[in-house]
Amino acid sequence: MPHDIKCITHESGNEEGWVCVCNNTPSTGGFFPCDLKGNEIEPVKGWNRLYVCDRCGRIIEQDTLKIVAHRRLLRLPLLSN
């Protein structure tokens, strides 16, 4: 895996307990199903299996635990020339 791709980890001994790079865990702030922009959604059929960290806004791919985007960076206004 390239060094510039970051991933979250699991709590020791708990495959269901994620630990974000900001140190958020399910018991401190949690993670919620989201769309590609980090908006919280209901995990219904067709859901992309992404989660957003409630503390820092990183968007995480459930199956790989890769951080694929950051909600706050996606919402920055575009600068016009």
> Tens digit of pLDDT for each residue in 13-63?
988 899 999 999 999 999 999 999 999 999 999 999 999 999 999 999 999
Residue 44 domain-assigned (yes or no): yes
81 falls within a domain: no
> Is 1 part of any domain?
no
Residue 27 placed within a domain: yes
Distance CA(25)–CA(54), nearest Å, equals 9
Residues 43, 35 contacting (CB under 8 angstroms)? no
What's the total number of domains in the chain?
1
Please indicate, yes or no, if residue 80 is contained in any of the structural domains.
no
Its domain, for residue 50, covers 9-74
Closest CA to 69 of 58, 78, 61, 53: 58
Nearest in space to 55 (alpha carbons), one of 22, 77, 80, 79: 22
Better-scored residue on pLDDT, 75 or 40: 40
- pLDDT for the residue numbered 79: 43
Residue 2 placed within a domain: no
Residue 36 forms part of a structural domain: yes
